Amino acid sequence: MAVDTKSALGPRGQASQAALAHVPNIPGSAKPDPILDVHSVKRSFGGLTAVDVEQVQVQRGAITALIGPNGAGKTTFFNLLTGFDAPDTGEWTFNGQQVAGTAPYKLARRGMVRTFQLTKALSRLTVMDNMLLGAKGQTGEHIYAAFFPFLWSKQERANRERAMELLSRFNLAEKSADFAGSLSGGQRKLLEMARALMSDPELIMLDEPMAGVNPALTQSLLHHIKDIREEGTTVLFVEHDMDMVHDIGDWVIVMAMGQIIAEGPPGAVMKDQNVIDAYLGTHHDKELTESGKSLTVDSDPEGTHS
């Protein structure tokens, strides 16, 4: 189901699209202000090359969608960039600093966080406790400071206020005292996104945020992603449904067989012959519609082929 979000672009959305307006629609194209800059990243599993990305840049302040058929290497690429896997070769920078080989928790401290296709909520902790885990720089985490509440109690109150603010925004305030394991699949997606925002990231990477979410929550998630961009956070997300990509994406990067095969605004990407071939095969007689529904493919719920 398409959601008309283009008509409600805020100032940052308009600025993002204006910044990308003159970028060539070619793989590896240089961006005016890249927050993430990737070069020569390869990852193989035995004889299978899962990722072989020569160059890709992510524009600061924009919503960039990473799409591709199942098995394209999207989730593997995410895992490499966020430190959950190690490449065979390659390097990349975040905010101009080399971060290849950096541990995930260190990347999070620098402002680069991610969510997962299969949610990682801690089921036996409350929703509030899950949120508090996302806050960074907590004084009370240090073993000696923990014995002196006056050192961290003010910070703890501020973190709880911030957590309740986010939970209210994501319609989870009434669940704050519930165990996270009692939430529905869609609510866990909301919780994971809210928890990621607790660290005030500069770049948030969402791995299939809409997978398994009912239509009502899908609309909510789409608007939340737009709001995140309007607050100045860069968004990079994996998605299969081109209706959603067309609705909220400022820029689209297409992967197939581990490589970047196309880049550009959603409308241009949907008409790219390489993209059509990647989704439908080189022998086809089906044209892409403006809504992009011909590009919609089934999600890979286990993430084993992405």
**Sheet bearing 203-207, strands edge to edge:** 112-114, 203-207, 234-238, 63-67, 251-256, 259-264
Taking Cα atoms as reference points, which of 85, 82, 84, 77 lies closest to residue 56?
77
Compute the C-alpha angle 93/260/6, nearest 5°.
85
Residue 302: what pLDDT? 42
- At 167, which amino acid appears? L
- Rounded (10°) CA dihedral 135, 137, 143, 149: -80
What is the C-alpha separation between 61 and 109, in angstroms, rounded?
A: 19
Token pair for 243: 């209706």
Q: What's the helix, strand, coil split of the chain in %, to 5?
A: 40, 20, 40
> Which residues in the chain show pLDDT less than 50?
1-7, 283-286, 288, 290-306
C-alpha 283 chain-centroid distance: 32
Question: At the fourth CATH level, which superfamily is domain 6-121+202-282?
Answer: P-loop containing nucleotide triphosphate hydrolases (3.40.50.300)
C-alpha 277 chain-centroid distance: 25
Domain ranges of the chain: 6-121+202-282, 126-182
What is the C-alpha separation between 255 and 259, in angstroms, rounded?
A: 5
Residue 4: what pLDDT? 45
Residue 221: what pLDDT? 83
Taking Cα atoms as reference points, which of 93, 96, 72, 76 lies closest to residue 85?
76
Q: Where are the alpha helices (DSSP H) in the chain?
A: 11-20, 74-81, 104-110, 127-133, 153-169, 185-197, 215-230, 242-248, 266-270, 273-280
